Structure 1
Amino acid sequence: MRYPELYILRHGQTMWNAENRMQGELNSPLTEKGLRDAAKQREILAMRDLGDFVFISSPQGRAFQTAGIALAGIADHIRTDDRLREIGVGDWSGRLRDELPMPTNPYQSQYEIAPNGEGFARLKLRCRAFLADLKGPAVLVTHGITSSMIRVLVVGEKAHAERHSHGGQGRVYHLKDGEQFLLE
């Protein structure tokens, strides 16, 4: 399937990112670095012609705050869509990653085994539905795992070819004609 041109941003670093905590559906404030991450994304986007783009953010605080900074003076209106929220980690929300069990299967991650979590199959369905509803080019402000899933759906496994395939705070992914470009 062909998708419209996309720019995908991950929210800036949060307190819990810095502490290596699972956030999922919970929120923590952006750090000073997170504020700089969002400002850097704004500098990147300011050099682009985004006149025909819509601007859509996850409604979660860290993403919406990032959107406000990264899209200041660029977007007249930022819409939110719940399908851009981060993968749910259920009972592990707010817990330190180092205190949680690691999967025994090397092809799984903590996100996949989190009790009462969303899992990748449901995340994929949610992201696929979101992409199917897009009518034209868009700038998306989302989260690391959700960004990764959207990028895989749009460009395939080459989305993970970059060293920072988790969605890179302070970076912008440009997806066009089945290709992914990392803008830093």
Structure 2
Amino acid sequence: MCSTAAAAAAAALLPGFAEVVVVRHGETSWNASKTIQGQLDAELNEKGRQQANAVGVKLSKERKFSAIYASDLQRAAETANIIASSCSLPKVVLDPALRERHLGDLQGLTLDKAAKQKPAAHKIFLSSRRDQELPGGGESLDQLSKRCVSCLQKIAGQHKGERVIVVTHGGVLRELYRRANPGAPRGGTIHNTSVNVFHISDPGDPWIIKNWGDVSHLKDTGVLKSGFGGDGTSG
């Protein structure tokens, strides 16, 4: 959806709904090296900072936002602070409920090393089963979904009739997509600093996706070709 269309969609926000613009954090060196981050606290690389600046400029041209929230992990918080500066928002509200899935024994390993060194955890990681926790204190997909969906619903409830920004992670975004489209495919590749727009009303009501996977602001910086962490994996 182009900026003009996005602005029109925002203007047409139905009574009782909040517009929640969810942005994946900028690129990290761990994304680029296909290292599983989970809840380990990697920072943005230079390209990630350029992406954050680009999405901040994009969002600054849209109708005013009321607030900005972010995962408290450094890569999301730094992205959010850059966006907040561009959009003249005074404070980023950090919330650990917006963190990436805890990936237990796999955190800090590349996918190749994970398969060899932690085969049991690796098998669960790639499984479609949603109720299996990862060894080493990791979360199941159901646990991830419960915390991030309830967090976004709470944010929306505090901002009915308003627009807010949320900066989070690829695994979280896939669960939010699943909440809006139960039983649908996983939403494709979720690139760093992609813009994804939800209209959310009361708990239990359907969520509406108004825009998904917009990376039109990344023409100059580009996106990570592998999509690691934003494809079929979390991390």
Which amino acid is 2:74 matched to? G
Distance in 1, matches of 2:36 and 2:208, equals 31
Aligned pair 1:174/2:197, yes or no? yes
> Using the alignment, how far apart are the partners of 1:64 and 1:179 within structure 2?
24
Cα distance, 1:114 vs structure 2: 3.4
1:62 maps to: 75
CA shift for structure 1 position 132: 3.2
Is residue 149 of structure 2 the alignment partner of residue 128 of structure 1? yes
For residue 123 of structure 2, give the secondary structure of its aligned residue in structure 1: coil
- Assess, with a 3 A threshold, how the Cα gap between structure 1 residues 70 and 159 changes in structure 2: closer, same or farther: farther
Matched, 1:86 2:100: yes
Tell whether the 8 Å contact from 2:102 to 2:139 is kept in structure 1 after alignment. Answer: yes
Q: Higher relative contact order at CA 8 Å, sep ≥6: structure 1 or structure 2? A: 1
Gaps of 5+ in 1: none
Aligned pairs for 1:138-177 within 5 A: 138-156=164-182, 160-161=186-187, 163-164=188-189, 167-176=190-199
TM-score w.r.t. the length of structure 1 is 0.84
Q: Distance in 2 between matches of 1:106 and 1:26?
A: 19
- Give the distance between the partners of 2:103 and 2:62, measured in 1 at CA: 35
- The AA in structure 2 aligned to 1:140 is V
Q: 1:117 aligns with which of 116, 138, 144?
A: 138
Cα deviation, residue 13, structure 1: 0.7
CA deviation profile, 1:98-121 (whole Å, cap 9, x unmatched): 222353897528xx6632311101
| Structure 2 unpaired stretches of 5+ | 1-15, 116-121, 200-206, 216-235
Structure with bigger gyration radius = 2
Separation of aligned partners in 1, 2:128 and 2:147: 19
Identity value in percent: 24
Aligned mates of 1:85, 1:71 — CA distance in 2: 19
Which one-letter code corresponds to 1:128 in the other structure? V
TM-score (norm 2): 0.67
Aligned 8 A contact 1:155 1:175 in 2: no
Deviation at 1:155, TM superposition (A): 4.6
Distance 1:106 1:139 in 2: 30
| More off after superposition, 99-108 vs 146-155 | 99-108
Displacement of 1:61 in angstroms is 0.6
Q: Distance in 2 between matches of 1:93 and 1:29?
A: 15
**Is 1:100 equivalent to 2:126 in the alignment?**
no
- Measure the CA separation in 2 of the matches of 1:105 and 1:84: 20
Question: Cα distance, 1:169 vs. partner?
Answer: 0.6
SS at match of 2:86: coil
Match of residue 51 from structure 2: 37
Matched length: 177
The alpha-carbon deviation at position 123 of structure 1 amounts to: 0.5
